[in-house]
Structure 1
Amino acid sequence: MSSITARQSANPDRPSASVRYVSSFTELSRQVKETDLLDRRYGWYWSRIVGVVVAFAAVWVAVVIVGDSWWQLVVAGVLAVISAQIGFLGHDGAHRQIFRSWQWNEWTSRVLSGLFLGMSYGWWDKKHSMHHAAPNQEGIDPDIASGAVAFTPDLARARHGAGAAFARRQGWLFFPLLTLEGLNLQLRSVQTVTSRQPLQQRWVEASLIGVRLAVYPIALLLLLPPGKAAAFFGLHMVLFGVLLGGSFAPNHKGMPLVPRDMKVDFLRRQVLMSRNIVGGPLVDFAMGGLNQQIEHHLFPSMPRPNLRRVQPLVRAHCAKHGVTYTQKTLWQSYGLVIRYLNQVGIGARDPFECPLVRRYRE
């Protein structure tokens, strides 16, 4: 009989740890429901949806006005910022944060992602939902699955030759790789809509993505000389990848890993594996609200502007129940990501072991 089972047998009236933790989240959820923080923020979201569409159109007016000039690279940088903001709105729609109707949320996300970014809503939504269900859990969370970067010690140890050499330096190479993230998202989307894997609204998504991927380069070549068109396209995609990927990376990379077969209660699963990024309005804007990652994971359908407002409730609840609540600055978080990936790459054993695993091993 395990020590945990023995303690429960000795005191049968005491609820198990898992029951206490579930009850703990129920308590927090009840507190939040008594506020207005789960109510839709239509004015906030409509102003941003209209704003990004108008800004997107204004960029193309600027391309025409600026003409044959290297100042077009400034315009490309502005387009990258707008594209990232569109991506954040697509993310919010996928989480049902914008409207009460799931159809409105889904179609808003599908149109914004496909027509403006060339991304498949269906592919990304499935992948992101799996991440939310089991953040940083090996073999389940697709965000730490095998790819160019080895996010877990087991993946790093399985590499040989050039792959192993890359892994030993992957911490320093991770952020340069983000420059390709925009193209990678588009490539994965095209692969999805042209494959045989199940996908709702396949022809709609294929049409939206096809229009975006065809019209964008054609418009650049019609409006700019080939060299400047290529520079515009390249800078836009590089900055877009860094802005979008750099907003997701600091939130979980370098946080504890959970073994595939381990069961963790919802509250601890979401809080212990997530990291908030401290900062003011500029950080909120640059990260699309993802800097409030703990609150977002606990209440994924909560409108983005309410995440900062619910933070005091969540922090107080975690302090009351002894659940570690992690916050770092953006630069501290990036430093942790680099250190973690380098440690994984050189074969360090469980560099960021889950505290729950360590506790029960003891």
Structure 2
Amino acid sequence: MGSSTDCGRHRFFTWNEVQKHCTRSDRWLVINRKVYDISEFSKKHPGGARVIGHYAGQDATDPFTAFHIDKTLVNKYLNSLLIGELAPDQPSLESWKSKEVTEDFRELRATLERTDLLQPNKLFFAGLLAHILLLEAAAWLNLWYFGASLFPFLISSLLLSTVQAQSGWLQHDFGHLSVFSKSKWNHLVHKFIIGHLKGAPASWWNHLHFQHHAKPNCYRKDPDINMHPIFFVLGTKLPIEVGKQKKKFMPYQYQHKYFFLIGPPALLPLYFQWYIFYFAVTRKQWADLAWMVSFYIRIGLTYIPLLGIRGLLAMFFLVRFVESNWFVWVTQMNHIPMTIDHDQNEEWLTMQLHATCNVHQSFFNDWFTGHLNFQIEHHLFPTMPRHNYHKVAPLVRSLCAKHGLEYQSKALLTAFADIVHTGSCRNSKWGNEMSHSIPNAIRN
């Protein structure tokens, strides 16, 4: 079963042979049973070599479908990489259970594509941008009118922290190609929001975030759980494993116990703040660097006349501190309490359910988290506009119930508590709740 066969010009491969091609210099993957050699292409892959390389030797059908909005364009690249397909006697997936789950999930995906649930409401996103710009204007007007005394200073800092957090959620939408039908328009607005409104490079976000989505909570594949050197790997299982190997350097076996004390307040102001410049310069992302510089020029021209240089620096790092806590608690509440392990090569639906959980819907939760309280739906359908997550969630719950897969949803404070107590979402003693209401059709 480990060798390929030829049928005229067409080559047939077994899974045993495909799985051998999973090194940095030799990479094959499977999409819709067709086998592609991406060894050279991965170096030129627009999403980066790592995100596509994480599926070397594996089936990449569902992530390929999830990440690309223009399949016709992408297929032009794929055609030149095609080397054959799986032999007729080879299964598409390893087990019948995975096959049944995957077939039903793909049917759900096809249903969504036939409806308007993958189509964005552009007025919704325009409203989000407008409220961000209004908050930023209010922060400046507050200082201009009331002066730079302590109370107005703190009010403006809080307003600007909200601007930064909400801009972070909005750039996330454009980065996932969720707003426009053309990728280039999403990319352009993404650069404006993350670069000019936040001062970070779009290329850096793409490099990290798509790896996270491709293999969430997978050791050495998801950069969100690999924060070396302070946090070598997050979770409750692997820190103990690597801690025993590196006791003399850092107490990694205990890091899951102190992450919430160091990670949320320090990630943005002490780590990302300098690393984003390092990333842009070392990778020669000059356009991104120009967008970033425009942010700092704008902030300087706007606030130095009101606060002076020292006052601006104090406010800037206070804003980054508040934003960092906001960002880390929200983004990690859905992932850290879940399974973090080596890549188990699970099918798409099961992998995302093991790595993500939801937080109950409310107007505040939706706004506060940028709709990342629907983390399961976001991971399953990353290009779906966020205002539709609540519509597809009942269908996902129904699919999970059919196959006995656990769909986790909890209260916001419970989600925060699970980070502190590092309990599993599956066995949380802090009162996880699951909704069992399964409607029969999509609600408009």
TM over 0.5: yes
- Matched with 1:331 is 413
> Comparing 222-231 with 237-246, which one deviates more in the overlay?
222-231
Alpha-carbon spacing, 1:225–1:207, altered in 2? closer, same or farther (3 Å): closer
User: Among 265, 271, 286, which residue is 2:347 paired with?
Assistant: 265
CA contact (8 A) 2:98 2:347 kept: yes
Preserved CA contact (<8 Å) 1:135 1:270: yes
Over the matched positions of the two proteins, sequence identity in percent amounts to 25
Alignment deviations for residues 100-137 of structure 1 (CA, whole Å, 9 cap, x no partner) = 11111111111100111111111111210001001111
Deviations 1:247-272 (A, max 9, x none): 10101112012323x21101111122
> Contact 1:179 / 1:238 at 8 angstroms: preserved in 2?
yes
Q: Residues 51 and 143 from structure 1, CA distance in 2 versus in 1: closer, same or farther, beyond 3 angstroms? A: same
Which residue number in structure 2 is paired with residue 3 of structure 1?
A: none
CA distance in 1, matches of 2:300, 2:256: 32
Counterpart in 2 of 1:112?
193
Residue of structure 2 in register with 1:132 after alignment:
213
Structure 1 equivalent of residue 366 of structure 2: 284
Q: Tell me, what secondary structure is at the counterpart of 1:130?
A: helix
Cα offset, 1:32, TM superposition? 2.1
Deviation at 1:161, TM superposition (A): 4.6
SS in 2 for 1:252: coil
Instruction: Compute the displacement of 1:282 (Å).
Output: 0.4
1:312 aligns with 2:394: yes
Does residue 248 of structure 1 match 2:331?
yes
Q: Displacement of 1:162 after TM fit?
A: 6.6
1:284–1:290 contact (8 Å) kept in structure 2: yes
Q: 1:247 to 1:15 in 2, by over 3 A?
A: closer
Question: Does structure 1 residue 296 correspond to structure 2 residue 382?
Answer: no
CA 1:68–1:334: 2 relative to 1, 3 Å: closer
Which one has the bigger strand percentage? 2
Query: C-alpha displacement at 1:217, in angstroms?
Result: 4.6
Q: 1:130 & 1:220 partners in 2: Cα distance?
A: 37
Q: Distance in 2 between matches of 1:225 and 1:69?
A: 13
Equivalent-residue separation in structure 2 for 1:131 and 1:271 (angstroms): 14
CA distance in 2, matches of 1:52, 1:141: 30
How many positions carry a matched residue from both structures? 326
| Unaligned residue ranges in structure 1 (runs of 5+) | 1-8, 344-350, 353-362
Distance in 2 separating the partners of 1:214 and 1:19: 54
For structure 2, list consecutive stretches of 5 or more residues without a partner in the other structure: 1-88, 429-444
Aligned-pair CA distance for 1:92:
0.5
Which residue of structure 2 aligns with residue 43 of structure 1? 123
C-alpha distance in structure 2 between counterparts of 1:169 and 1:256, whole Å: 16
Q: Cα deviation per residue 1:198-228 (whole Å; 9 max; x = unaligned)?
A: x6xx222111112223442564333115664
1-side partners of 2:362 and 2:334: how far apart?
Answer: 17
Gap change, CA 1:146 and 1:227, over 3 Å in 2: closer
Note the 1:157-168 alignment, pairs <5 A. Answer: 157-161=244-248, 163-164=250-251, 168=254
Return the TM-score normalized by structure 2: 0.68
Task: Tell me the residue number matched to 2:145.
Answer: 65
CA gap of 1:88–1:302, structure 2 versus 1, over 3 A, is same
1:192 to 279, 299, 306: 279
Matched AA of 1:291: N
| Match status 1:79 vs 2:163 | no
Task: Please say if residues 118 and 186 of structure 1, whose CA atoms lie closer than 8 Å, have aligned partners that are also in contact.
Answer: no
Q: CA deviation at 1:234?
A: 2.7
Q: Secondary structure at the match of 1:306?
A: helix
| Distance in 2 between residues matched to 1:102 and 1:303, nearest whole Å | 14
Q: Are the counterparts in 2 of residues 180 and 237 from structure 1 also a CA contact under 8 Å?
A: no
6, 17, 27: which one aligns with 2:97: 17
Matches of 1:93 and 1:18 in 2, distance apart?
A: 32
Alpha-carbon distance in structure 2 between the residues aligned to 1:286 and 1:298: 21
Q: Which amino acid aligns with 1:45?
A: F
Is the contact made by 1:119 and 1:189 (CA closer than 8 Å) also made in structure 2?
yes
Alpha carbons of structure 1 residues 138 and 115: separation in structure 2 relative to 1, 3 Å: same
In terms of fraction of residues, the more helix-rich structure is 1
Residue among 31, 35, 51 paired with 2:111: 31
Q: Would you say the 8 A contact 2:139–2:155 is kept in 1?
A: no
**What's 1:181 paired with?**
267
The amino acid that maps onto 2:306 is L
Partners of 1:169 and 1:285 in 2: CA distance: 31
Structure 1 residues 119 and 227: alpha-carbon distance in aligned structure 2, compared to 1, 3 A threshold: closer
Q: How far did 1:191 drift?
A: 0.8
> Hey, what's the Cα distance between the residues in 2 that align with 1:162 and 1:331?
34
Moved more, 133-142 or 204-213: 204-213
Contact 1:83 1:240 in 2 (8 A): yes
Instruction: Tell me the CA shift for residue 340 of structure 1.
Output: 2.3
Letter in 2 for 1:179: P
1:339 partner letter? H
Shift of 1:179: 1.8
Contact 2:397/2:407 (<8 A) preserved: yes
Three-state SS of the structure 2 residue aligned to 1:292 is helix
- Match of residue 242 from structure 2: 155
1:171 aligns with one of 243, 257, 261: 257
